[in-house]
Structure 1
Amino acid sequence: MSSDVASLPATDAPPSILSPRYRATTVGMVALVSLHAFEALAVAAAMPTVAHDLDGLRLYALAFGGTLATSVIGMTLAGRWSDRLGPARPLWLGLACFIAGLLVAGFAQHMPVLVLGRLLQGLGAGAISVALYVLVGRTFPESLRPRVFAAFSAGWVVPSLIGPAISGLIVQHLGWRWVFLGVPLLAIPAALLLRPALRAVPPLAVGVGSNRSVVRWAIGASLGALLLYVGGQQVGWPALALLLPAIALLALCSWKLLPQGTLRLRRGLPSVIALRGIAASAFFGCEAFLPLLLQRERGLSPLLAGVALSLGALGWFSGSWFQGHQGQGMSRRTLLGAGALLMCAGIIGTALAIQPGVPLWLALAGWTLTGLGMGLIYPSLSVLTLSLSPPAQQGANTSALQLSEALAVATTLAVSGSLFAWMLSVDVTLGYLQTFAIMLLLAAASVVVARRV
């Protein structure tokens, strides 16, 4: 157990994450998760207008990849600080960086300034996400954590359904700057709801070594992620010239930042952390190429393609809700195995959209199934990470969990994107098949790794 509260007998545990004791904390955390999700999706929808107004098309990729790169540093530092000082300081510092980044981007008159704002946003978002996980571990009893993470999933689903549309309305009627400037107006009140819970979490009296070496490896991983993102936009030899050193740098830094045995898939916590990266890569790799396939090859409008993606989000929420409310009927290991198998079946069904003669509803059902599997896996890994971590290591291990996802997804998208771009000159159908085959292999690997948890 991770706290005195968590060690209470089951009969003394509060019945709900919205009971008076936890209501403000739950609402504040879910609100921050939702605002982060909305901001990410809204910026993606608004960025073409931003690049046009600021004459910054050359920095378009950097405006996206920069947030991922600096989030690696934020995650790493927040994990260590949370273990030593509690989650309050990294959360407030992360929130300050996040809001500062939004303001810099919102008031930017030139694209390099906007990119600087995006870098600050990523640094803050990485710190906030880790601090929230540690707050869950230090505040909620173990029996309620699955429901907390199910609420986090809901916090992502709603913005994924309405975020792009709201962003389009804001850009059209108020201007793209309000996509950035509007979020702080809601983020600050949401964070203030967490003050009582943060004050109630005492720092742990444990010795922590110097963070200097960790910072160096985090910066190296950040540079590697950035090179991956930029390299993924290239074609041919320029892509290889960036991707190969980036992958080598990421492999070295991951070896230093992740718990021992993670890259070797050692049983227990290392496999939990590795599985987060593998499963997330399979899901988000499919999600990146599915809209292109539906619009270009099946003739769907951008609106209908967006609705199709929403089916995966709804499947994710359904799986997450089930794992949080199924009681003691299924073990976490069983949920992980079932989720991985559902992802395999779902990716196969989704890939059928490549063939014009296959009914589109079959592919969309496959994508919903993929989301359902991910909904079983994703929060289960969060629950297991906190359960398998002593209180003094919850920050570092939570940081590693999210680092695994960030670095693995960046690598998968960069490599698969480059291969797809290369295959376009050969056969576009083979390009799609190759991409979905990579994601299916990752989902199959998830089945194997789930047995080692």
Structure 2
Amino acid sequence: MRTPQGIAPGIMSGAYAWITIGACALVFLGAFESLAVTTVMPVVSADLEGERLYALAFAGPLATGVIGMVGAGNWADRRGPTAPLYTSVAVFVIGLLIAGLAPTMEILVVGRFIQGLGSGALTVALYVVVARVYPQRLHPAIFAGFAAAWVVPSLIGPTVAGVVTELFSWHWVFLGVVVLVLAALLMVIPALRGLERGGAGRAAPWAFGRLGWAALASIAVLALNLVADLPAVGPALAAVAVVVALVAVRPLVPRRTLRARRGLPAAILVRGALAAGFFATQIYLPYLLTGAYGFTPTLAGLALTGGALAWSGASIVQGKLGMRLASERAVRIGTVLVLTGVTAVLTTALLELSPLVVVAAWVLAGGGMGLASPRLSALTLAMSAPDDQGFNSAAMTVADSFGTALALAVTGVLFAALAAGGFAFVAVFALAALLAAAAVVLAPRVKSGPDTAPPLS
């Protein structure tokens, strides 16, 4: 399809404008809700007298999201992405309503669990919609839009949530999003009409076994987010939970992913390692800046803003370059930038360098994520058969969740164990650097080759 001027249409052209806006809005609102809750949860916890369930309100959605990802992927491979998308939005809205109207902390946590289930499924369904609606040449651009939709809430989400809570109440941080989600869905509906399952002429079977493994993996993820609070037995419980998580995740990703088989399996593994290294560092940067350098929380947050802006900017650049920048090359450059940024943070913690090094390093790391992450998404779809797009999209998002959850759990145990000795930050950032280095080493294997394993369906 060409425009009258002979220029190939982009994601904001007439044919794709509404679904682009609607899909990015759904991603934005999911990200906003996740980040906004971080700001209001102390108020919610005090209001509902639920301090003991504070951590569970964050860990729960991550755990249930894994089940949503796997279920939506399987459903999309069977019947196409339309029904999973509608259902995931409905589940997400139900979770918002329950949380927003919750009279007790227990009910709010239930709402958060349901939110996570819907949010995880929504992400996978949208990825399959991208595969079915947009031509491959536009995938880098639409995934750049998704990346920007995730980054922008990190800039405005906490502030907006704080203002809404002060002017109205914390309930509207949940309830106010409902109307916006439904409006975004209306923009997407026209493009969904007529979308059927993939072109192989067969429907994938219901993968009840994988759903069971996803449930087990969710329990392991939840445990990994809780054991860091048990210093006496934390390391032993963390080791058990890591083993369980790794065993459970194997059926949820393409064959030989944990062995980094060239092509799709390696792309999934690089995605998980890169997310783990980046977010394991980012979580502890405010601790480093406030604890070791005396930054205020606001100033420490601004240091992270530079990385968010760099992520968004690099995503836009790679999207505009399109096929002029090979996806494999973008992934290699991006992983190196992330490793450089994490290593600089580690060096700063070890040698007590200027905090300005941390700020500059995080801009570099954010730029690396903006280059690599959208291209790993595009590569995953490019190497997926139509009937495997749901499974592989789910595998990609599962890799993000598991990589980050595993890294945060282990760093939590390390930080608690070494805090008294003064080497906690060094240990945490060293582990993050190892994960980022693994992504750099494995990045050349994302390119398909003769030994590429077929996707598991």
TM-score (norm 1): 0.95
Matches within 5 A, 1:202-217: 202-204=196-198, 205-217=201-213
In structure 2, C-alpha distance between the alignment counterparts of 1:347 and 1:75, rounded to whole Å? 29
Question: Cα distance, 1:348 vs. partner?
Answer: 2.1
* Secondary structure in structure 1 of the residue aligned to 2:14: coil
In structure 1, C-alpha distance between the alignment counterparts of 2:412 and 2:169, rounded to whole Å? 31
Determine if contact 2:128/2:389 at 8 Å carries over to the other structure.
Answer: yes
In structure 2, C-alpha distance between the alignment counterparts of 1:14 and 1:78, rounded to whole Å? 32
* Residue 435 (structure 2) pairs with residue 439 (structure 1): no
Amino acid at match of 2:391: A
* Residue 142 (structure 2) pairs with residue 179 (structure 1): no
Structure 1 residues without counterparts, runs of 5 or longer: none
Determine if contact 1:61/1:233 at 8 Å carries over to the other structure.
Answer: no
In structure 1, C-alpha distance between the alignment counterparts of 2:336 and 2:351, rounded to whole Å? 26
In structure 2, C-alpha distance between the alignment counterparts of 1:355 and 1:440, rounded to whole Å? 13
* Residue 231 (structure 2) pairs with residue 235 (structure 1): yes
- Tell me what 2:387 maps to: 392
Matches within 5 A, 1:120-269: 120-204=114-198, 205-237=201-233, 239-269=234-264
* Residue 270 (structure 2) pairs with residue 275 (structure 1): yes
**Structure 1 runs of 4+ off > 3 angstroms?**
11-14
Determine if contact 1:236/1:422 at 8 Å carries over to the other structure.
Answer: no
String of CA shifts for 1:40-87, please: whole Å, max 9, x gaps. Answer: 110011111111111111111111000000000000000011111111
Of 49, 59, 66 in structure 1, the residue corresponding to residue 43 of structure 2 is 49
Determine if contact 1:336/1:376 at 8 Å carries over to the other structure.
Answer: yes
In structure 2, C-alpha distance between the alignment counterparts of 1:362 and 1:69, rounded to whole Å? 35
Q: When the two structures are aligned, how many residues end up with a matched partner?
A: 443
- Tell me what 2:316 maps to: 321
In structure 1, C-alpha distance between the alignment counterparts of 2:139 and 2:324, rounded to whole Å? 16
- Tell me what 1:17 maps to: 11
Structure 2 residues without counterparts, runs of 5 or longer: 447-457
- Tell me what 1:379 maps to: 374
* Residue 109 (structure 2) pairs with residue 115 (structure 1): yes
Matches within 5 A, 1:313-352: 313-352=308-347
In structure 2, C-alpha distance between the alignment counterparts of 1:112 and 1:335, rounded to whole Å? 45
In structure 1, C-alpha distance between the alignment counterparts of 2:263 and 2:352, rounded to whole Å? 44
- Tell me what 2:442 maps to: 449
String of CA shifts for 1:188-210, please: whole Å, max 9, x gaps. Answer: 01011111111131223313223
* Residue 109 (structure 2) pairs with residue 90 (structure 1): no
CA RMSD after TM alignment: 1.7
Determine if contact 2:289/2:355 at 8 Å carries over to the other structure.
Answer: no
In structure 1, C-alpha distance between the alignment counterparts of 2:411 and 2:50, rounded to whole Å? 26
* Secondary structure in structure 1 of the residue aligned to 2:410: helix
Question: Cα distance, 1:320 vs. partner?
Answer: 1.1
In structure 1, C-alpha distance between the alignment counterparts of 2:368 and 2:416, rounded to whole Å? 29
Matches within 5 A, 1:29-68: 29-68=23-62
Amino acid at match of 1:435: V
String of CA shifts for 1:265-309, please: whole Å, max 9, x gaps. Answer: 110100001111000001100110001111111111111111111
Determine if contact 1:232/1:413 at 8 Å carries over to the other structure.
Answer: no
Amino acid at match of 1:445: A
Determine if contact 1:350/1:365 at 8 Å carries over to the other structure.
Answer: no
In structure 2, C-alpha distance between the alignment counterparts of 1:196 and 1:203, rounded to whole Å? 17
Question: Cα distance, 1:355 vs. partner?
Answer: 6.2
Amino acid at match of 2:345: T
Amino acid at match of 1:395: G
Question: Cα distance, 1:353 vs. partner?
Answer: 4.0
Amino acid at match of 1:419: L
Determine if contact 1:312/1:370 at 8 Å carries over to the other structure.
Answer: yes
* Secondary structure in structure 2 of the residue aligned to 1:259: coil
Determine if contact 2:137/2:323 at 8 Å carries over to the other structure.
Answer: no
Determine if contact 1:146/1:383 at 8 Å carries over to the other structure.
Answer: yes
- Tell me what 1:299 maps to: 294
Question: Cα distance, 1:118 vs. partner?
Answer: 0.4
Of 362, 368, 371 in structure 1, the residue corresponding to residue 363 of structure 2 is 368
Determine if contact 1:13/1:141 at 8 Å carries over to the other structure.
Answer: no
TM-score (norm 2): 0.94
Question: Cα distance, 1:352 vs. partner?
Answer: 4.3
* Secondary structure in structure 2 of the residue aligned to 1:452: helix
In structure 1, C-alpha distance between the alignment counterparts of 2:7 and 2:271, rounded to whole Å? 29
* Residue 282 (structure 2) pairs with residue 287 (structure 1): yes
Larger CA deviation: 207-216 vs 404-413? 207-216
